[in-house]
Amino acid sequence: MSDIRPFTVEIEQAAIDDLQNRLAHTRWPEAETPDDWSQGIPLAYTREVVEYWRDEYNMQRLAERLNAYDNFLTEIDGVDVHFLHVRSARDDAKPLILTHGWPGSVVEFLNVIEPLSAPEDASAPAFHLVIPSLVGYGFSGKPEKPGWGVEKIGSAWAQLMSRLGYDSYFAQGGDWGAIVTSAIARVDPEHCAGIHLNMVVAPPDPNAEDLTELEISGLQGMQYYQDWDSGYSKQQSTRPQTLGYALVDSAAGQAAWILEKFWAWTDCDGHPENALNRDEMLDNIMVYWLNAAGASSARLYWESFGGALGGNPITVPMGGAIFPKEIFRTSRRFAENVYKNIVHWSEFDKGGHFAAFEQPTVFVDDVRACFSQID
């Protein structure tokens, strides 16, 4: 435990002044043609959010929310890892590591910390929570050398749980967090007792017949992603450094880059604020802006894209949660080709890519249901 240092999130006034100045002097493009989201986030909405960020948003809100819990740093393989560690008061609580993805952060999990660690119902499972920032993201360090792909992060998370004294633990994640969680199951099956994923990535079986409605929808979703939704990933997986200059220099640009995905990937009926409130979205954007993480977060795509989904079949007990507006959706029978020990499977009629953020109650209930089936 001597390798673990307490950490406090501090947002200095100089950083706030610089942010407000950049927001006030944003150089705007012309409006989109046509007047919709088909070319990206509309000018009018972007300006509205930027003005709110500059003039009304509580610039200390993120620090206040994060510092309500115990934050720590620990060095793993030469890079600092930031994490929240929330221990339950329950004697029967089980350790659980929660991993975010892009363009998310630990902010995604703030609304599920209390119900998971201190459930009002004494019969509901309770968890000791470890919530790390991905390497290159948030308040974690930025690697100075290549090599920090999802497999290495999975190994680092296993080392983190060992360092915290947890001999047996559960793991959960979505987006890159789902891939990292799967990597944990591969590299540390002796200690990882079970995993839960809210983005289950498994290739369709080309020989499958009698495709279900979900499977057809999943294939259509994959095609839509390739045709209309994957430009960000191509850029981040091939030229993250070039993109980083714009995102690190322009607060409005960083906000637009993330907000567009909150529109595209949530179950929002055409407007992101139908799924997430503006302050919470800005909390998440602040994590990227304050830490100048535009390039370092994108670099995970360069490190991992393409090869990240391969690997040996996973035998650790697994639970999957499928939401209708998820980027990639698969069926249980396709998932069984990768995850050989599925103990829990849920398909929901509402929700999108950011499960804990969008549907915290549903997320908590499903995590509990999954891990209640694993000793």
Read out DSSP for 155-171?
HHHHHHHHHTT-SSEEE
d(CA 217, CA 248) in angstroms, rounded, equals 37
* Axis crossing angle, helix 13-24 with helix 251-265, rounded to the nearest 10: 80
User: Hey, what's the torsion of the CAs at 128, 258, 13, 29, to 10 degrees?
Assistant: 180
d(CA 216, CA 210) in angstroms, rounded, equals 10
pLDDT of residue 223: 94
Q: If you classify domain 4-371 with CATH, what class do you get?
A: alpha beta
d(CA 236, CA 287) in angstroms, rounded, equals 18
Q: Which residues are paired to 80 by β-bridges?
A: 75
| Residue 192: CA count within 13 A, CB half-sphere | 28
pLDDT of residue 305: 85
Predicted confidence (pLDDT) per residue in 78-118, tens digit: 999 999 999 999 999 999 999 999 999 999 999 999 999 99
Q: Which residues contact 239 (CB under 8 A, 6 or more apart)?
A: none
pLDDT of residue 221: 94
- H or E element: which one contains 340? none
pTM, full prediction: 0.97
pLDDT of residue 54: 98
Residue written as token pair 């510092």? 67
Low-confidence residues in the chain, pLDDT < 70: 1-2, 307-310
pLDDT of residue 375: 78
